[in-house]
Chain A
């Protein structure tokens, strides 16, 4: 039905005919990789302090990031065409696993998030973070853009089913991130501004409804966010301590390993979700600005790469991956510094822990694949 044709005229004619560089042959992007490595290195430095000078923890994280990086390099070797072919498979598999979790998932902390296959514990919602934008990009790739009402309806179904399943686990943070990844695809596809505006109004109107459907602990988080002092020893403890850590760091910070809030364990989750507070305390505003600049460089490079993509699928997918990554950064730093409610979002590439790092790195692998296979696209 959809008419799809490939424009043979390359966007970057300057490179045609020139011998492909080593980086292109390796399907890697030197800029992206350098910034990633810088971020990971900085993250490891902070983690060493945040883990209470635990070489073991730091080494484990370094190995994990190394493996994730290798994974990204491997993914970059697959052409976007291959990824495009696998897209429905990935999405279907993710959906199936979410249903499996719903039926027989582990019950831990009132939340069913994990699927155990033999010795492996797997979080299907992580797969969805990638599979969702892939699926939407693949769908819209075959449709004329901007998307029609019918397309939007189909997209709505593609989004709603897994998001609702994740939200039911319940994992509000991840379901919102998956939704964000999906929404970015549609927005980048050229959804009309009028539609976006009316959707925003509707979302505002839906807030009370959302409140009614929240779990008690989720409501508590929102209330605590609005007034942390109301429960300074209970739910407000985290945010008060993290603000104190960041604020007491000042301009230059207290020095590496010398943050009293972090080292004396006043700061909870200091090496996972709240690691940026350690950074703020020990490296001050200068340290915070540094990491923000690194993140912004990464995002800028990502946006450039997305804009250079040659087809709709690659463009939309790359753009969504980059924007979602920034949302991670914004939500994490925002929650730790007290301008957003506490949702369990780690600081990408810095927080200790495996799953989300692997997912993010896979995203960067896809980004590099899209960027380095530009002239090899076949349909």
Chain B
């Protein structure tokens, strides 16, 4: 017999136990099935709304339709900024079978150096969600597009996408007028209407591209599309077309602009030409310019550093932001101030012994001609740019009256309508000095201001605007770059225009004009060589500005140093005198002198019917040596 432990099989009991257990299992199964059903009931009935919304959000996507950016033309309809399709190479990693092989093949097909594979690999990893294309390369050439098309069957997941990109046909000469567009950065993004800019990648950064961003950009449209999980659009459900940006016509005459740029002849400087009656800026050149197209595609760090470190500062808009001592070019305005304030009469004679002395002061303020011009009236004082006469006027006016009258011509203020980044220059005053230096105003400083030196600073744009106002008998029109936005002409009167400069006698304008005419055509005129053979009447004024110091971070060799310490040469002028069509301001840095001819060339080009701006050969700077100008 077996031990008691050795039980025998009891089939009856086994069947009972099994049945028992089966029933428990069945109960559990019912319970579990119930759990599933209640889960499904929760998902499909109770939370149905949530999930149906989620599923619609999944499949439906609202895609922004970016508007076409408005084109920019010059006043003659010449295209200055356009949109060109460029082609970008993108990759969707989920659709690529073998990433390494594909990238190797791509580099080979595109004819790129082999180390580009690594760059491509890095770029292919940059994206936010699955199935989102990553940008491998932008701005493909036609040849590359063709080669990709031929090899397309080898490159699953690789796409060539078209995108409109800004293109400037005349990038260097127009650089400071147009400015440029670039990729929207985070800071700009926070200030934009996200809906309107959802599909836009570029925004105006400087120049008119910046000023007229709102008009050029247009209004984004949208379309509702159904997509699959890979983001591929299957069909369009709804569409609201975008409103394209408005085309912008500038007041710039690109032929005059080119002439001005050429006249500068590779030197650093700026030229601004304004139509006095309309305020149209006909030319606004800052030289050297730079290639604005590079900024659209995203300038390389090396290129950007090169531009930044260039001692000629090509990125710097000298026309609107270059603040120079205006020198003797302020004398016509000062003459008018003296007349209006009745501290002098046009025919009054001031005797110039070669210097001016303040009462009770032994210090002599010298005329530029050491032995003096002798008897000088207002017209001759302008013609020969006599310092003693204007020291006397400044002394008689005092800084308060001088400063306030100069402000009427816009010195120390920004008066342009739409020139991006324009600076106000500096018209010093007693209050200004108290605030800035906590010092009283010294009489000697009035004398410096009287010949456009000392603290006095003005931009070429301000000088041109003041000259245009002078030519207009004091009538102010804000200088502007836009002539037409879409169909809408940009016409004076403009808001916030300064009140016209009022003088008590109209004759006083003519007194100043006559002096300025003598500058061009008088026997002693400082620009008489430039004015030789004028076929119309022209008023002008030369000037020089002393270079006191050099920029801190600039390095020069000895010969460059000498060159860069030379005075800046200035010229302002307008013509014809009785019916002014053009007012110009010219500054050439470190030229020493002799830039009046540039002004003459511009007025000639603008006024003479025979001149053909378009086909003009590169103008050479006249090698005239003028008589030394003031200071």
B10 CB within 8 Å of chain A: yes
The 9 closest A-B pairs by CB, nearest first: A247-B51, A248-B55, A190-B17, A264-B228, A144-B7, A247-B43, A265-B229, A266-B229, A248-B51
Q: Using known A-B contacts A265-B229, A303-B25, determine if residue A4 contacts B9 with beta carbons closer than 8 Å.
A: yes
Say if the beta carbon of A115 comes within 8 Å of chain B: no
- Interface size counted on chain A using CB atoms at 8 A: 60
Q: Are B55 and A244 in contact (CB under 8 A)?
A: yes
A7 at interface by CB-CB < 8 Å: yes
In the complex, chain A residues whose CB is within 8 Å of the CB of B52 = 247-248, 250
Q: What are the residues of chain B within 8 A of A245 when measuring CB–CB? A: 55
Within the assembled complex, what's the spacing in Å between the Cα atoms of A333 and B43? 13
Question: Least Cβ distance of A274 to chain B in Å?
Answer: 13
Q: A307–B19 contact, CB under 8 A?
A: yes
On chain A, the residues within 8 Å of B14 by CB distance are: 145, 190, 312, 315
Is B561 among interface residues, defined by CB-CB distance under 8 A? no
Chain A residues, Cβ within 8 Å of B6: 1, 3, 144
In the complex, which residue of chain A has the Cβ closest to the Cβ of B227? A264
Q: Which of B30, B48, B56 contacts A250 (CB 8 A)?
A: B48
B226 within 8 A of A: yes
Chain A's nearest CB lies how many Å from the CB of B217? 32
- Which residues of A are interface residues toward B (Cβ below 8 A)? 1-5, 7, 11, 143-146, 148, 184, 187-190, 233, 237, 241, 243-251, 260-261, 264-267, 280, 284-285, 288-289, 292, 295-296, 299-300, 303, 306-307, 312, 315-316, 319, 323, 326, 330, 333-334, 337-339
Contacts of A295 in B (CB 8 A): 33
**B505 lies within 8 A of chain A by Cβ:** no
Q: Is B18 an interface residue (CB 8 A)?
A: yes
User: Are A190 and B55 touching (Cβ within 8 A)?
Assistant: no
Chain A contacts for B48, CB-based, 8 A: 247-248, 250-251
Residues A288 and B44 in contact, CB atoms below 8 Å apart: yes
B494 on interface, CB distance cutoff 8 Å: no
Question: Does the CB pair B18–A315 fall under 8 Å?
Answer: yes
- Alpha-carbon separation in the docked complex, A315 to B25 (Å): 14
Q: What string of 1s and 0s marks CB contacts (under 8 Å) between B35-59 and chain A?
A: 1110111011101101110111011
For residue A248, which residues in chain B have a CB less than 8 angstroms away from its CB?
A: 48, 51-52, 54-55
Question: Is the CB–CB distance between B22 and A334 below 8 Å?
Answer: no
Q: Which residues of B contact A (CB under 8 A)?
A: 2, 5-11, 13-15, 17-19, 21-22, 25-26, 29-30, 32-33, 35-37, 39-41, 43-45, 47-48, 50-52, 54-56, 58-59, 129-130, 226-230, 234
Q: Which A residues are in CB contact (< 8 Å) with B2?
A: 3
Whether A188 contacts B21 by the Cβ 8 Å rule is: yes
Which residue on A lies nearest to B17, using beta carbons? Answer: A190
Q: A5-B9, A145-B17, A265-B228 are in contact. Are A244 and B40 (CB under 8 A)?
A: no
CA distance A248 to B10 in the complex (A): 55
CB distance from B34 to the nearest CB of A (A): 10
Q: Are A292 and B33 in contact (CB under 8 A)?
A: yes
Interchain CB contact (< 8 A) of A339 among B19, B35, B55, B59: B35
Docked CA distance A45–B59 (Å) = 24
Chain A residues within an 8 Å CB radius of B11: 7, 312
Neighbouring B residues of A280 by C-beta, 8 Å: 40, 43-44
Residues of chain A within 8 A (CB-CB) of B50 are: 247
A244 adjacent to B44 (CB under 8 Å): no
10 contacts between A and B (CB under 8 A): A144-B9, A237-B130, A241-B58, A247-B52, A251-B44, A264-B58, A264-B228, A266-B58, A284-B44, A306-B22
Contact check, A188 vs B18: say whether CB atoms are below 8 A apart.
Answer: yes
Residues of A within 8 A of B44 (CB): 246-247, 249-251, 280, 284-285, 288
Q: Shortest distance in angstroms between A222's beta carbon and chain B's nearest beta carbon?
A: 19
Would A260 and B26 be within 8 Å (CB), given that A243-B51, A251-B44, A289-B37 are in contact?
no
Residue of A at shortest CB range from B35?
A339
With both beta carbons as reference points, the residue of chain A lying nearest to B9 in the complex is identified as A144
Structural contact, B8 and A260, CB atoms closer than 8 A: no
> With the chains together, A370 CA to B9 CA distance in Å?
20
What is the chain B residue whose CB lies nearest that of A281? B55
- In angstroms, Cα B15 to Cα A323, docked, is 17
A47 and B234 CA atoms in complex are apart in Å by 23
**Closest partner residue, chain A, to B53 (CB atom):** A248
Docked Cα-Cα span, A248 to B40, in Å, equals 11
With contacts A246-B40, A280-B44, A337-B39 known, is A323 near B25, CB below 8 A? yes
Contacts of A3 in B (CB 8 A): 2, 6, 8-9
Shortest B42–chain A CB gap in Å is 9
Contacts of B32 in A (CB 8 A): 326, 330
A251 to B26 CA separation, bound complex (whole angstroms) = 27
Are A246 and B43 CB-contacts (below 8 A) given A3-B8, A261-B55?
yes
In-complex Cβ contact of A285 among B19, B41, B234 (8 A): B41
Instruction: Kindly list chain B residues whose C-beta atoms are within 8 Å of the C-beta of A187.
Output: 21, 25
Closest-by-CB residue of B relative to A327 is B32
- In whole angstroms, what is the CA distance A5 to B10 when docked? 10
Could you tell me if A188 and B22 are in contact, using CB atoms closer than 8 angstroms? yes
Q: Which residues of A contact B45 (CB under 8 A)?
A: 250-251, 285
Q: How far is the CA of A260 from the CA of B30 in the complex (A)?
A: 32
Q: Which of B2, B19, B22 has the most CB of A within 10 A?
A: B22
B26 touches A303 (CB 8 A): yes
Closest to A265 in B: B229
Residues of A within 8 A of B33 (CB): 292, 295-296, 330
Output the least CB separation between A65 and chain B (Å): 24
Minimum CB distance partner of B30 in chain A: A296
